[in-house]
C-alpha cells in the first residue's frame, strides 16, 4: 500500500523528523483529494444546498447528492435517502435515542464495552424513566457471550433495541453481528450498530447484514471533522420523530399545523456543513477506489508486525484478542511500571510518535475490570513498518530511561 503520499500531514517534517501517526481509531488523517474537494466548495461555489435558485446553490445540492450516493454505495444502502448526515457517531446515536418511539417499559441492551457515546444517552434515558437500560457482560476474554445473549433475549421480552459496537475501540474485537442480528430479530428487537470503528476498516453491507440502524463518523474514515451518518431501514426512519427541528425539515407550516418533509430532510435541520458532507463523500470514494478489503488486509498484516515487535518488550500486556488480525488495527497495551500518559508524552515530544493513552472513552469497562490507563496504537492505510519501528524503538528507549532512573533511586 502506497497511501502515505496522499496524506499531506505525513509529508512534512517536525523537529527534523517525519510525524508518525498511530491514533487513527480516534481520528484519521485526511487525503489531499478530500482537502481539495472541500477547498473547491469554498473557492468555487459556496452556496447553500436545496434552497436558492442559482448556480452556486444548484451545484451544492448536486455535490451533496453525490456525496450521499457515494456513502450509500459504500455501506450497501438500498437508497441514498437512508443516509442521514449528522456531526458524528455520537449525534447519530443520540438521534435514535431521542427519536425512537420507546415505551418506558422497553429495554435497550448494550454490551459492557460501549464507548460513552453509546452508553451515556441510554443511562440518562433510564434515569429519566424514558426507557430501561441493561448491559450484557462480556466473557472473561472480552468476547461477546452469544449464549447469554440468546438466553437474555428469550427471557426478557421487553428488549426493544440492541445497541452495540461492531468493533470495540478498546481492543478491536469484532462482535459476531450476523448472529446478534438474527437473534435480536427473532425476538422482535431492532439493532443499532455503532460502526465508528468498523466502517473505516471492514466491508459493511447493511442490506445483507440486515442492520436496522448504523451510526458512524466521517472523520475516522479519511473524511472531514464534524461529519457523521445515521443509516436506517426506510420504514424505521419514517417512524422516527425528527430530533432537531427547524428550517429545511418542514414542507410547510400553516397555522398550528406542521408538515414535515420525508427522509433524509426531516432530520437535517438548518444549513448543513456542505463542505464537510462533500468532503465525506470524497473520502468514501477514495476508500472505495483503493478497496476496503485491501485496506483491511493491509492493516491486519501490519498489526501482526506490531504485535510481534511489542512482544519483544518485557512485561507488556495486550488487551483483547491474542490474534492481531482480530484487532482491527488496534494494539492497546499496558506496560508494567510505566505510566501510559507519560510514555505517550515522551513519544510525542521526542519521537513525533502520536498514540492515545487513557481509558479511551470506555471508562465503564476500565472501571469494571479494574484496568489501568492503557497505551493504544491504532493503524490505518497510511501507516507502514517504519512507523511501527519508530514506535517500538521509542517505547524501548523510554522504558530503558525509567529503569535507569529507578536504579539510581535504589
Ligand X SMILES: Cc1ncc(COP(=O)(O)O)c(C=O)c1O
Exactly one of 82, 90, 175, 374 binds ligand X (CB under 6 A); that residue is 90
The partner residues of 84 in beta bridges, in order of sequence, read: 230
Which residues ranging from 276 to 335 are in contact with ligand X (CB under 6 A)?
A: none
Instruction: Classify 296 as helix, strand or coil.
Output: helix
361 is catalytic: yes
Q: What is the largest CA-CA distance in the chain?
A: 81
Question: Taking contact as CB under 6 A, which single stretch among the options 112-120, 201-209, 302-310, 325-333 is the one that binds ligand X?
Answer: 112-120
Residues binding ligand X: what is the number (CB under 6 A)? 14
Q: Tell me which H or E stretch contains 316.
A: strand 316-318
Cα separation of 172 and 175, whole Å?
Answer: 9
Question: Taking contact as CB under 6 A, which single stretch among the options 110-118, 273-281, 300-308, 369-377 is the one that binds ligand X?
Answer: 110-118
Q: How far is the CB of 227 from ligand X (least distance, A)?
A: 9
Nearer to ligand X, 6 or 23 (CB): 23
Exactly one of 117, 202, 300, 303 binds ligand X (CB under 6 A); that residue is 117
Exactly one of 6, 23, 194, 387 binds ligand X (CB under 6 A); that residue is 194
Question: Taking contact as CB under 6 A, which single stretch among the options 29-37, 83-91, 318-326, 341-349 is the one that binds ligand X?
Answer: 83-91
Exposed (0-12), middle (13-18) or buried (19+): which is 107, by Cβ within 10 Å?
buried
Which residues ranging from 163 to 192 are in contact with ligand X (CB under 6 A)?
A: 165, 169
Q: Tell me which H or E stretch contains 213.
A: strand 213-217
Reported as half-sphere exposure (CB side, CA atoms, 13 A), residue 300 has a value of 17
Answer whether 49's CB lies under 8 Å from 272's CB. Answer: yes
Exactly one of 60, 94, 110, 217 binds ligand X (CB under 6 A); that residue is 217
Q: Estimate the crossing angle of helix 385-409 against helix 340-351, to 10 degrees.
A: 120
Which residues ranging from 222 to 261 are in contact with ligand X (CB under 6 A)?
A: 228
Cα separation of 234 and 379, whole Å?
Answer: 34
Exactly one of 22, 38, 196, 277 binds ligand X (CB under 6 A); that residue is 196
Nearer to ligand X, 28 or 340 (CB): 28
Nearer to ligand X, 165 or 187 (CB): 165
Q: How far is the CB of 94 from ligand X (least distance, A)?
A: 9
Question: Taking contact as CB under 6 A, which single stretch among the options 99-107, 115-123, 171-179, 370-378 is the one that binds ligand X?
Answer: 115-123
How far, in Å, are 45, 49, 138, 270 from residue 55 at the CA level? 8, 10, 54, 20
Cα separation of 145 and 137, whole Å?
Answer: 7
Answer whether 251's CB lies under 8 Å from 261's CB. Answer: yes
Spatial CA neighbour of 96 closest among 226, 187, 205, 216: 216
Question: Taking contact as CB under 6 A, which single stretch among the options 5-13, 84-92, 180-188, 256-264 is the one that binds ligand X?
Answer: 84-92
Is 89 a binder of ligand X (CB under 6 A)? yes
| Residue for grid cell 488487551 | 319
| Residue for grid cell 462480556 | 138
Spatial CA neighbour of 164 closest among 133, 194, 195: 194
Exactly one of 30, 115, 174, 376 binds ligand X (CB under 6 A); that residue is 115
Q: How far is the CB of 93 from ligand X (least distance, A)?
A: 7
Is 110 a binder of ligand X (CB under 6 A)? no
Nearer to ligand X, 61 or 225 (CB): 225
A 10 A CB-CB count for 188 gives 11
Is 111 a binder of ligand X (CB under 6 A)? no
How far, in Å, are 60, 91, 221, 289 from residue 81 at the CA level? 17, 18, 21, 23
Nearer to ligand X, 82 or 168 (CB): 168
Q: How far is the CB of 60 from ligand X (least distance, A)?
A: 24
Nearer to ligand X, 381 or 399 (CB): 381
Residues assigned a catalytic role = 361
Which parts of this chain interact with ligand X (CB under 6 A)? 26, 88-90, 115, 117-118, 165, 169, 194, 196-197, 217, 228
Amino acid at each position: 500500500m502506497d497511501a502515505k503520499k496522499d496524506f499531506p500531514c505525513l509529508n512534512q517534517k517536525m523537529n527534523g523528523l517525519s510525524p508518525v501517526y498511530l491514533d487513527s481509531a480516534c481520528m484519521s488523517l485526511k487525503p489531499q483529494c478530500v482537502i481539495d474537494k472541500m477547498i473547491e466548495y469554498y473557492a468555487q461555489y459556496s452556496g447553500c444546498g436545496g434552497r436558492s435558485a442559482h448556480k452556486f446553490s444548484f451545484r451544492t445540492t448536486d455535490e451533496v447528492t453525490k456525496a450521499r450516493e457515494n456513502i450509500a454505495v459504500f455501506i450497501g444502502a438500498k437508497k441514498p435517502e437512508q443516509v442521514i448526515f449528522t456531526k458524528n457517531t455520537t449525534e447519530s446515536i443520540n438521534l435514535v435515542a431521542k427519536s425512537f418511539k420507546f415505551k418506558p417499559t422497553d429495554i435497550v441492551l448494550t454490551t459492557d464495552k460501549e464507548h460513552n457515546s453509546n452508553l451515556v444517552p441510554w443511562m440518562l434515558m433510564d434515569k429519566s424513566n424514558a426507557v430501561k437500560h441493561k448491559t450484557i457482560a462480556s466473557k472473561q476474554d472480552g468476547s461477546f457471550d452469544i449464549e447469554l445473549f440468546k438466553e437474555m433475549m428469550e427471557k426478557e421480552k421487553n428488549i426493544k433495541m440492541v445497541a452495540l459496537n461492531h468493533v470495540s475501540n478498546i481492543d478491536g474485537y469484532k462482535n459476531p453481528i450476523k448472529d446478534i442480528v438474527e437473534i435480536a430479530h427473532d425476538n422482535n428487537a431492532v439493532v443499532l450498530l455503532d460502526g465508528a470503528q468498523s466502517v473505516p476498516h471492514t466491508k459493511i453491507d447493511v442490506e445483507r447484514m440486515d442492520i436496522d440502524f448504523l451510526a458512524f463518523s466521517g472523520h475516522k474514515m479519511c473524511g472531514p471533522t464534524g461529519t457523521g451518518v445515521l443509516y436506517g431501514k426506510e420504514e424505521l426512519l419514517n417512524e422516527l420523530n425528527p430530533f432537531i427541528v427547524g428550517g429545511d425539515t418542514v414542507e410547510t407550516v400553516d397555522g398550528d399545523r406542521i408538515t414535515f418533509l420525508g427522509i433524509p430532510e426531516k432530520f437535517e435541520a438548518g444549513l448543513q456543513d456542505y463542505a464537510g458532507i462533500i468532503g465525506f463523500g470524497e473520502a468514501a470514494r477514495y476508500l472505495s477506489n483503493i478497496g476496503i478489503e485491501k485496506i483491511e488486509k493491509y492493516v491486519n498484516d501490519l498489526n501482526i508486525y506490531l504485535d510481534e515487535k511489542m512482544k519483544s518488550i518485557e512485561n507488556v500486556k495486550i488487551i483483547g484478542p491474542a490474534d492481531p488480525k482480530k484487532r482491527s488495527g488496534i494494539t492497546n497495551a499496558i506496560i508494567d511500571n510505566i505510566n501510559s500518559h507519560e510514555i505517550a508524552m515522551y513519544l510525542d515530544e521526542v519521537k513525533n510518535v502520536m498514540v492515545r493513552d487513557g481509558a479511551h472513552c470506555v471508562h465503564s469497562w476500565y472501571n469494571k475490570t479494574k484496568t489501568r490507563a492503557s497505551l493504544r496504537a491504532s493503524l490505518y492505510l497510511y501507516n507502514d513498518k517504519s512507523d511501527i519501528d519508530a514506535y517500538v524503538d521509542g517505547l524501548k528507549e523510554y522504558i530503558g530511561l525509567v529503569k535507569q532512573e529507578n536504579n539510581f533511586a535504589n
